[in-house]
Chains A and B, each alone.
Chain A
C-alpha cells in the first residue's frame, strides 16, 4: 500500500497525465487511478475534487459541463491546458530525477569494510 503523503504528492502529475490522454470527468479519473495502481494507491474519492478545482484555478486545466446524449446525467469534463502540459513535463522531469536518485542509491552495494 502506498503511503498517504506520497499519494497526495503524486496526485497532480497523475491527474495531469490522465487528462493529457483525453478529457475526462471526476468519477472516471478516480476509476482510472484505481485501475492503474491496482488498488495500491489509497484514495478518498472526495479529495480529488478540491485538487481538480485548484488545478483549474491555477489555469492548468479547464472544465465545462456537458450533457451527453446517452446519459441521463450531465458531467463536468476536465481538459488539460497548454500551461498544464508544460507543468506535466516539469513534473515528469522531477519525478524521474527522484527516481534516478533512488535507483542510484539502491544500486550501490553495501560497503564491506
Chain B
C-alpha cells in the first residue's frame, strides 16, 4: 500500500542533507509538490503516480543544492568564519603549538593570567564601590541638605544642617514626602553585665520609611514611641546573643547619674556590605532633649549631623534650593560666623562620590585612592603582559616561518593566516582567563580583602561580570594578537623557502615593544620604591609635639576631671596633668575669627592652661596660658600657619572677635599635626576652657612609666566610675589606623613591584631565549671560527645594551614625574625625592637583563658547534 505522507517525508529528507536549504525553503518545496500532486490527482492520476510525476518534474536534489549553494556561500558571516575555520581547525593546532613550546606558553599564559586576575580584582572593587548605598529603594528620591559658606572668598560646602531647617522644610514644602533629622551622639549602653560606649543615632520616625533597612524583628513604626529603640543586627548579637530581644529593656546612660531605659522594639536585618550610611542604635529624635539639656531644636546656631528630605523622583531640585534660600536670613541674623550663601541638595545615590568635596559629611569615601590607582595598576600589568606576548609571538614566528610558508603554498590566504594566529591567541587568552580567574578567587581578591578590609565578593550570577570577563579576554587577545598576526601573515611564501626572510632578530618593532616593556617596568619599580621610601618617611615624620608618654581619657561628666586629678596627683610618675574640651588628634571645633575686614575659619581647641606644656608643643613667640588667669580667658595662642594666614608683622596683642567676644593673641606655637599626613596642616588656635567643660583628661607619664600609669588610671577609673566603661589610651594609638594604612599601602606596593619585576623578567627571558636560539647556527659558525667567550658575550649583549640605554632614558624621567605626581595627589607632606629609587630601579632592571642574557650566553658557550651546524635552519 502506497503511503503518500511517508513518501513525501522521505523525499524531503534528501534536502535536509544540504545546508544550502533552510527550513523555509524546504517547506516551500514541500508545499509545491503537494500542490502539484493535488492537481495531478484531480486529473485522474493515482496517488503513487501523481507523487512520482511531481517528484520527477521537480528535478534532481543535488543539482538544486548546487544552485542554492551559490546563494548560500556568498553569506560569509562572523559565525561561519568562527565555526568553519577557527574552532574546528585552529584550536587544534593552537593546542598542539602550546604543548610544543611549553616555556613560551607558560610565560605568555602566566603573565596574562596575573594581569587578568588583577583586572578581575579591579572589576570587583569598582562594582563594590558603585554599589555603595545603592540598595535603598528611594535612593533617587532622598536628598541630603547641605549649605555653602563663604570663607575669605572661598566657597565651602558643609553637611551639618542648622537644627530648625527640617521643621521649616516640613511646614513650607508640601510636596516633600518625608523630612528626617539625624544626629549622632556618644552614650554608654548597659544591659545586665554588658556595658559599652556606643554611638546612638537620633532620628525622626520617617528614617526607616525613607531608607531601606528592613527589620528582622519588630516594626519600623515603633520609632514613633520615644521609649523605643531599634538595634542593628550586630548590636542585637552583641548585647542579647542570638535570641529575639524584642521587649527587653536596655539602659542608655547619657552622663553619670542621668540615664533612660529603652524598650527594644526592632532589630534590623544585617545591612548590605556596600554601604556608608547605617546605624547601631536608632531612637526617636525627641530624646535629644533628654540627653543634651542645652539642645534647642529652634536654635539656628545648633547644627545636626544631617537632614534628609524625600521628594518625588522627578522633582526639580533647583527650584527647591532656590526656595530654601529664603531661610538664609534666619541663619545669618544670629550666626554671622556661619553666614550661609546658599543651600544645596545631594542625592543619596550620588552621596558616596560627592563626599570628598563636602565637610562633616555623614557618609564617607575611603575608596578615592583605590578607585583611581587600581585601574591604572591593572592597565600597566595588562600592558606588560601584552608586550610580553607580542614580543614572544613575533620572535617565535621565526621558528614557524616554514609552517606559515607551507600554509600559504597550499592555498591559505593572508586572512586565514591572520585568523589562525588570532585563534591561537584566543586559545591562550582563554587559558589565561581561566587561570586568572582562579588566581583572583584564591589569591588576589582574598589578599586585597585582607589588606583593605573592603568586603569584596565575586558574584557569578552577575551578568556584567561575565561580560567584563569576555570583554577582557577579547580585548587582550586582540591587543596582543593583532599586530603579530598581521605582521606574520604578510610574509611571502617564496621568500620564506628561499630563506631570505631574516625576521625577529633585526625587527625594529620587536625592539620598540621590548623597549616599551622596559620603560613600564622601570616606572613600576621606581614608583614602588619611591612609595616604600615615602612610607618610611611618613612613619618617621614628626607630629610637631611629643606623643610619647601621653595618655588620654574621655571624661563622663563635668565633675569627673577633679576626681581623677585628685586620685592621680600624688603619682610620682606623672609629670603633668591637663584637661581639655577638645583634644589634639581626636576632636576639634571649627570657629571663625573675625577682623573688621576679614574672617578666618580655624580649627579651635579649648584646653586647660598647662595643655601646651603637657603636650610639649613648642612656643615660638610670646607665652602660653597662665594658670588661673582671668585675663587669659580672653587670650588665644595660634600656630605658625595661622600667623602666616593672618599676615601680621607683630602678632602679639593683635585682637580678634569670636562669638562677639574680643580675644587677644598672646603667643605663637610651632606647627603640629592634628590630622594624619594625607591632610594639610590647618590654621589652629587654642583658648582656655572652663574646667566644667573638660571632656578629656590628659597626663604625661615619666619616660618608661606610661604602661604602669595606664594601668593605674584604669584601676582608679573603676573605683571612681564603676558604671561607665573606661575609654582612653596612648596618644600614639590615635594614629594606629593611619599607620596601619601606611603598612597596607607598603605591602601593596611591594607585591606590585615584585609582580612587575616578575612579568618583565619572564618576558625578557622568553625573548632573549628565543633570540639566541634563533641564532644557533650563527653562533656555531663564530665558535668554529674561533670566537671566544668575550666575543660571543659582546655579540649577545650588544643587541640589548643600546635598547636598555634608550628605554631607561625614557623610563627614568617618566617614573620620576609619575611617582611625584601620584604622591603629591595622595599626601599633603611627601618624602623629598632623591635619585635613590631611580638608581635602584635601573640597577634591578640591569641585573635582570644581565642575569637573563648571561644564562643565554652560558648556553651558547657550552653548546657544541657541531650540533648547532647540523641544525637544518
Contact = CB atoms under 8 A, between A and B. Distances in A.
A60 B58 CA distance: 24
B644 to A, nearest CB: 80
A53 B20 CA distance: 11
Interface string A26-60: 11001000000000000011110111011001000
Nearest to A53: B71
A110 interface: no
Contacts of A109: none
Interface residues of A, number: 17
A76 B34 contact: no
Nearest to B28: A76
Contact of A73 (B29, B31, B54): B31
B74 to A, nearest CB: 8
Interface string B473-515: 0000000000000000000000000000000000000000000
A44 B54 CA distance: 10
Interface in B24-48: 24-25, 28-29, 31-32, 34-36
Most buried by B among A26, A46, A51, A57: A46
Contact of B34 (A51, A53, A73): A73
A74 interface: yes
A78 B654 CA distance: 99
Given A44-B57, A44-B58, A44-B59, A50 B34 contact: no
Given A44-B58, A46-B61, A27 B35 contact: yes
Contacts of B720: none
Contact of A46 (B24, B31, B34, B58): B58
B70 A54 contact: yes
Nearest to B25: A49
B68 to A, nearest CB: 4
Interface in A66-97: 73-76
B60 interface: yes
Nearest to A48: B32
Contacts of A45: 32, 36, 54, 57-59
B31 A50 contact: no
Interface residues on B, range: 20 to 34
A47 B32 contact: no
Contacts of A50: 64, 67-68, 70-71
Given A54-B71, A57-B71, A46 B28 contact: no
Contacts of B29: 26, 46, 49
B65 to A, nearest CB: 9
Contact of A44 (B28, B63, B68): B63
A46 B64 contact: yes
A47 B63 contact: yes
A74 B60 CA distance: 25
Nearest to A52: B28
A74 B31 contact: yes
Contacts of A49: 25, 28-29, 32, 64, 68
Contacts of A54: 70-71
Contacts of A30: 32
B28 A26 contact: yes
A27 B36 contact: yes
Interface string B402-433: 00000000000000000000000000000000
A45 B61 CA distance: 11
A47 B67 contact: yes
Contact of A53 (B31, B63, B68): B68
A38 B71 CA distance: 30
A45 B31 CA distance: 12
Most buried by B among A49, A51, A57: A49
Given A53-B25, A73-B31, A46 B70 contact: no
A26 B54 CA distance: 14
Interface of A is mostly: helix
A81 B70 CA distance: 22
Nearest to A56: B71
Contacts of B57: 44-45
Contacts of B63: 44, 47
A44 B53 CA distance: 12
A44 B59 CA distance: 5
A30 B54 CA distance: 12
A19 B116 CA distance: 59
Contacts of A57: 71
Contact of B32 (A27, A51, A53): A27
B138 to A, nearest CB: 50
A30 B29 CA distance: 12
Contacts of B54: 45
B439 to A, nearest CB: 49
B368 to A, nearest CB: 57
B59 A47 contact: yes
Contacts of B31: 26-27, 73-76
A53 B36 CA distance: 20
Contacts of A51: 67
B60 A44 contact: yes
Contacts of B34: 73
Contacts of A44: 57-60, 63-64
A45 to B, nearest CB: 4
Contacts of A27: 31-32, 35-36
B32 A26 contact: yes
A50 B58 CA distance: 13
Contacts of B36: 27, 45
A75 B61 CA distance: 21
B774 to A, nearest CB: 50
Nearest to B75: A57
Most buried by A among B32, B57, B58, B64: B32
Contacts of B64: 44, 46-47, 49-50
A53 B24 CA distance: 11
A46 B71 contact: no
Interface string B1-43: 0000000000000000000000011001101101110000000
Nearest to B68: A50
Nearest to A45: B58
B41 to A, nearest CB: 14
A97 to B, nearest CB: 27
A49 B70 CA distance: 12
A24 to B, nearest CB: 12
A46 B25 contact: no
Nearest to A65: B24
A59 B32 CA distance: 23
Nearest to A72: B34
B153 to A, nearest CB: 69
A29 to B, nearest CB: 10
Contacts of B67: 47, 50-51
Contacts of B70: 50, 54
B70 to A, nearest CB: 7
A57 B74 CA distance: 11
Contacts of A75: 31
B233 to A, nearest CB: 61
Contacts of B61: 46
Nearest to B35: A27
A98 B25 CA distance: 34
B833 to A, nearest CB: 68
B364 to A, nearest CB: 62
B328 to A, nearest CB: 69
Nearest to B67: A50
Q: 3 tightest A-B contacts by CB?
A: A44-B59, A50-B67, A46-B59
Given A27-B32, A49-B68, A73-B35, 10 more contacts: A26-B32, A45-B32, A46-B29, A46-B59, A46-B64, A49-B32, A50-B68, A53-B68, A54-B70, A74-B31
Interface of A: 26-27, 30, 44-47, 49-51, 53-54, 57, 73-76
28 contacts: A26-B28, A26-B29, A26-B31, A27-B31, A27-B35, A30-B32, A44-B57, A44-B58, A44-B59, A44-B60, A44-B64, A45-B36, A45-B57, A45-B58, A46-B58, A46-B59, A47-B67, A49-B25, A49-B29, A49-B32, A49-B64, A50-B64, A51-B67, A53-B68, A54-B70, A54-B71, A57-B71, A76-B24
